Structure 1
Amino acid sequence: MYFDSPYVAKVNLSLGEGCLSSNECASGCCVIERKRHVCKNLAQLNENCSTGQVKGGFYPKFCPCADDNNLCKRQKGRRGRSTQICTAPTETTTTF
């Protein structure tokens, strides 16, 4: 049976606009925030980040790191809670 959805996907939505999936946001990131999906900027260095999308194409609370070279690392936050922060990769030196 064929299903016609009344929803038409939007594209290039601005920051703060409602979204259903990251594909709709100009920034490439849709997060669920206070029971609402909104477009947000990708996380910059030392900002909170998220590593994976929730089923449906959006992120929980925070966007992934903007720079693919940065890592979203888990760190101890306030009150003992862990958070994920965009961090620069550490350089490794090889000695011969």
Structure 2
Amino acid sequence: VAIARALATGNPVLLADEPTGELDFRTGVAILELLHEQAHAGVTVMIVTHNREISRVADRVVELSSGTVVGDGPPPGGTADIASLHW
């Protein structure tokens, strides 16, 4: 419901805090596909997650440790397809 509300506003930026947390794998993948579609439609999508597997499908990964940026760039190994994720 929260994602639907955020999408309904039509804002150019979407911040998703742990969008797959507490979801089963299949539903989590569906949410990631929805966010991916929004990104390709021109929406800036920022995902906050502790799940490193999800970062594999990002265009850019900013890694924080104790409030300090310790990494900023493409995901290691390049961007993966959502279908290749497993967690």
| Alignment TM class, shorter chain as reference | under 0.3
| Rg larger for | 1
Of the two structures, which has the highest relative contact order with CA contacts closer than 8 Å and spacing of 6 or more? Answer: 2
Higher helix proportion: 2
